[in-house]
């Protein structure tokens, strides 16, 4: 069983909220869900959609086809009728099917429902049309209405009894209308599955949860799509976890406050998109030079400049790898799904503190704002590395904050101890932190800092290879393309093409050994990326000297659908076989 549902309408219609409501309704029935939103950078008007895809197996991404379209305005039908599955149906706000059937293919059923009237009769607000549409959806697929009713009760109980009652009322009216007028349903059947209680979580929320679980208590940021979700999430949790969450005057202040807080001894984080990260670049080097642990999430969106503010792309890989002047060690982790976002946050804090380096979690709009079901999050145990405690400091007489060691790691302290007075310094400095321009010291300090990279590289897990060891095609990719690629692999299986997929999550330090091994062994390599210039393919070439055979690239500001990847792979293979 697989079902893909889309709701579309203007901004302000509550599209995102209704998508999430349906996602949770499925998740509470033991199903797996993935949902994703598309919206322009507007508060009212424009065209918004949310696609919810559910199945009785793990769902990794949305799809390119729609089984059921809920059109809150007519434009939605015209924009999406070509994406309808052959046996799909359209539910729209109206009393009758118009004569021209909106020009929709004859195989597609139309289900008119007077959503506006239903809501009005009950005295509800126009935004509740969504709720009626979800009730109607449930009737059309034979799902269990009581799950939705329970969810609505939980969702609105904080508001008031009346709100709960009205919402349930509207949902039931939508449901009843369809049961009365189309008792045969839509022909699509979606049934609750098991009793697992799966959570419905976005990448942003997972990063935020990962940060909380890692003991992060300081978060400073400036709003920017698609990273604002972390700010909203953590700000709401500020008092539950004794955090300080600061909306700063700009992104410079955001990163610098996080650096200050980390210097003072707490776990601190900031996040933005590429534009905000551009402003953070100078301070990134400050964190590196002062060896201050720092976690930054960069949620990519299409550039250059403001670009497509609410869309997705993977165009900033090279940028985060090289941002800021000079050579210094950094870590770049690109999680591929919600669970990996949570894990990445936990590991990022540990790596940042153990190695006293900036760690960048590289995500994108598709990952940070899409929901996926997750059964549980596995906490990453906190490891603060060489952080000297009070007892140790009591015994110290000559503290060198930047002591040159074999590992390159110098023991860190929390400032405030009598024996631990030191200077952090953006200038090149001696072991105590005093300015020093001496060439030998400079060389030794540069070597010391860079030495940490070798150890980091040996600690990071190797990239994971999905699929069989030997395959016709080896896909290489990073970040959020993981979802559509895993789905495409299922499609290709039916196509008699064997595919495996190397997901390169830790991009820096680069996992040289494994990538080389896989590249050498592969029959046909294809790089899949959501950018114009195949940045990963370039990186692979740079590190391994090996060239990927083919590239599948998309830079329309929209994520890949599984079908697009599967078709492109099939084409490449076809081409090769001829």
Partner 1 sequence: MAESKDFRTDKKPVWCPGCGNFGILTALRGALADSGYEPHQLMIVSGIGCHGAVIQYVNANGFHSIHGRTLPVATGIHLANHELCILTMVGDGDGYGIGMGHFIHAMRRNLDMTQIVHNNKLYSLTTGQTSPTTDKGRPTKSTPFGVIEIPVNPLTLALSSGATYISRGFAGDPPHLRKLIADAMAHKGFALVDVLQPCITFNHANTNAFYKERVYKLEDETGYDPGDRQAAYERALEWGERIPIGLFYRESRPTYEDEVVTLKDMPLVKRPIKGVDITKTLEQFL
Span from 11-19, 105-113, 138-146, 416-424 in contact with partner 1 (CB under 8 A): 416-424
Determine, following the binding rule CB under 8 A, whether residue 326 of this chain makes contact with partner 1. no
Helix (H) or strand (E) holding 252: helix 251-263
Residue 217 near partner 1 by CB under 8 A: yes
Whole-angstrom Cα distance, residue 342 to residue 155? Answer: 24
Closest listed residue to residue 366, CA positions, set 530, 274, 480? 480
Mention every residue, 6+ apart, whose C-beta is less than 8 A from residue 267: 211, 214, 215, 216, 217, 218, 293, 295, 349, 353
- Helix or strand holding residue 333 (H, E): strand 331-333
To partner 1, the closest distance from the beta carbon of 406 in angstroms equals 27
Cβ neighbours of 526 (radius 10 Å) = 23
Nearer to partner 1, 339 or 527 (CB): 339
Question: By CB under 8 A, which span of 97-105, 223-231, 411-419, 439-447 interacts with partner 1?
Answer: 411-419
Binding status of residue 213 toward partner 1 by CB under 8 A: yes
Q: Which stretch binds partner 1 (CB under 8 A): 93-101, 241-249, 466-474, 524-532?
A: 241-249
- Of 428 and 564, the one with the shorter C-beta distance to partner 1 is 428
Stretch that binds partner 1, among 21-29, 161-169, 297-305, 544-552 (CB under 8 A): 21-29
Member of 112, 116, 185, 260 binding partner 1 (CB under 8 A): 260
The rounded distance, in Å, linking the Cα atoms of 21 and 495 is 35
Among 389, 435, 438, 454, binds partner 1 (CB under 8 A): 435
Member of 242, 305, 397, 494 binding partner 1 (CB under 8 A)? 242
CA distance 151 to 548: 48
Going across the sheet that includes 358-364, the strands are: 244-247, 216-221, 267-272, 294-300, 358-364, 331-333, 506-508
C-alpha neighbours within 13 Å on the C-beta side of residue 150: 10
Q: At what angle do helices 129-141 and 15-27 cross, to 10 degrees?
A: 40
Distance separating the N- and C-terminal Cα atoms of the chain: 36
Restricting to residues 55-84, name those near partner 1 by CB under 8 A.
Answer: none
Which residue number, 241 or 466, has a Cβ lying nearer to partner 1? Answer: 241
Q: Which of residues 182-211 bind partner 1 (CB under 8 A)?
A: 197-201, 205, 209
Cα separation of 18 and 166, whole Å?
Answer: 15
Q: What does the alpha-carbon distance between residue 289 and residue 152 come to, in Å, rounded to a whole number?
A: 51
Q: How far apart are CA 459 and CA 90, in angstroms?
A: 52
Residue 546 three-state SS: coil
Cα–Cα distance measured from residue 553 to residue 551, given in angstroms and rounded to the nearest whole number: 6
> Considering only 29-37, 425-433, 458-466, 549-557, which stretch makes contact with partner 1 by CB under 8 A?
425-433
Q: Is 112 helix (H, G, I), strand (E, B) or coil?
A: strand
Nearer to partner 1, 76 or 410 (CB): 410
Residue among 66, 91, 256, 323 that touches partner 1 (CB under 8 A): 256
Q: Identify which of residues 234 and 536 has a Cβ nearer to partner 1 in the complex.
A: 234
Closest distance of CB 374 from partner 1, Å: 8
Site string (289-308) toward partner 1, x via CB under 8 A: -x------------------
Residue 264 binds partner 1, judged by CB under 8 A: yes
Compute the least distance from the CB of residue 134 to partner 1, in Å. 17
Q: Which of 15, 253, 460, 492 binds partner 1 (CB under 8 A)?
A: 253
Verify binding: residue 164, partner 1, rule CB under 8 A.
no
d(CA 553, CA 556): 10
Asked if 250 interacts with partner 1 (CB under 8 A), we say: yes
Segment interacting with partner 1 (CB under 8 A) among 124-132, 166-174, 409-417, 537-545 = 409-417
Smaller CB separation from partner 1, 240 or 469: 240
Burial class (CB in 10 A: 0-12, 13-18, 19+), 186: buried
Residue 392, CA atoms < 13 Å, CB-side half-sphere: 10
Residue among 53 and 246 whose Cβ is closer to partner 1: 246
Stretch that binds partner 1, among 37-45, 283-291, 402-410, 513-521 (CB under 8 A): 283-291
- C-beta of residue 450 within 8 angstroms of C-beta of residue 509: no
Enumerate residues 351-390 that contact partner 1 by CB under 8 A.
Answer: 374, 377, 379, 382, 384
* 433 counts as binding partner 1 under rule CB under 8 A: yes
Closest separation in Å from C-beta 510 to partner 1:
29
Nearest to partner 1 of 80, 372 (CB atom): 372
Residues 221-240 that bind partner 1 (CB under 8 A): 237-240
Run of H or E residues at 363: strand 358-364
């Amino acid at each position: 069983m697989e079902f893909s549902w889309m709701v579309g309408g203007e901004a302000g219609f509550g599209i995102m909220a209704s998508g999430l409501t349906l996602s949770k309704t499925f998740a509470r029935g033991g199903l797996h869900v993935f949902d994703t939103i598309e919206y322009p950078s507007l508060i009212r008007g424009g065209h918004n959609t949310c696609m919810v895809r559910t199945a009785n197996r793990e769902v990794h991404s949305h799809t390119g086809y729609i089984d059921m379209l809920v059109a809150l305005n007519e434009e939605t039908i015209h924009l999406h009728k070509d994406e309808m599955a052959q046996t799909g149906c359209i539910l729209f706000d109206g009393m009758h099917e118009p004569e021209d059937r909106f020009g929709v293919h004859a195989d597609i059923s139309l289900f008119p429902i007077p959503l506006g009237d239903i809501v009005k009769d009950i005295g509800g607000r126009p935004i509740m049309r969504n709720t009626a549409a979800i009730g109607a959806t449930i009737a059309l697929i034979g799902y269990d209405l009581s799950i939705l009713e329970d969810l609505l009760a939980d969702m609105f109980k904080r508001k008031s009894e009346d709100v709960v009652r009205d919402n349930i009322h509207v949902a039931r009216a939508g449901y009843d209308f369809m049961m009365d007028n189309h008792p045969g349903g839509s022909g699509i059947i979606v049934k609750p599955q098991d009793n697992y209680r799966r959570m419905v979580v976005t990448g942003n929320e997972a990063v935020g949860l990962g940060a909380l679980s890692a003991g992060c208590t300081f978060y400073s940021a400036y709003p920017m799509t698609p990273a604002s979700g972390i700010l909203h999430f953590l700000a709401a949790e500020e008092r539950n976890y004794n955090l300080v969450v600061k909306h700063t005057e700009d992104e410079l202040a955001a990163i610098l406050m996080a650096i200050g807080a980390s210097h003072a001894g707490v776990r601190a984080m900031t996040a933005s998109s590429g534009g905000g990260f551009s402003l953070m670049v100078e301070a990134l080097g400050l964190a590196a030079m002062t060896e201050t642990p720092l976690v930054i999430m960069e949620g990519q969106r299409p550039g250059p400049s403001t670009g497509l503010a609410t869309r997705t792309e993977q165009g900033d890989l090279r940028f985060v790898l090289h941002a800021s002047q000079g050579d210094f060690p950094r870590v770049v982790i690109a999680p591929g799904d919600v669970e990996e976002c949570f894990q990445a946050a936990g590991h990022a804090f540990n790596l940042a503190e153990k190695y006293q380096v900036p760690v960048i979690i590289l995500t994108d709009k598709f990952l940070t704002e899409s929901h996926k079901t997750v059964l549980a999050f596995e906490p990453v145990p906190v490891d603060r590395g060489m952080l000297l405690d009070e007892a140790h400091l009591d015994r110290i007489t000559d503290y060198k904050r930047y002591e040159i060691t074999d590992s390159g790691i110098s023991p860190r302290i929390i400032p405030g101890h009598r024996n631990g007075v030191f200077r952090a310094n953006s200038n090149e400095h001696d072991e105590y932190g005093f300015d020093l321009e001496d060439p030998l010291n400079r060389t030794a300090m540069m070597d010391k800092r860079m030495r940490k990279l070798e150890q980091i590289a040996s600690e990071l897990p190797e990239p994971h290879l999905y699929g069989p060891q030997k395959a016709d095609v080896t896909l290489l990719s990073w970040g959020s393309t993981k979802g559509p690629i895993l789905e495409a692999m299922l499609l290709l299986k039916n196509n008699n093409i064997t595919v495996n997929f190397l997901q390169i999550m830790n991009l820096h330090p680069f996992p040289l050994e494994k990538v080389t091994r896989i590249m050498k062994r592969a029959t046909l390599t294809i790089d899949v990326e959501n950018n114009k210039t195949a940045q990963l393919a370039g990186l692979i070439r740079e590190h391994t000297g090996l060239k990927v055979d083919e590239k599948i690239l998309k830079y329309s500001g929209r994520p890949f659908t599984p079908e697009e990847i599967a078709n492109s792979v099939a084409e490449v293979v076809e081409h090769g076989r001829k």
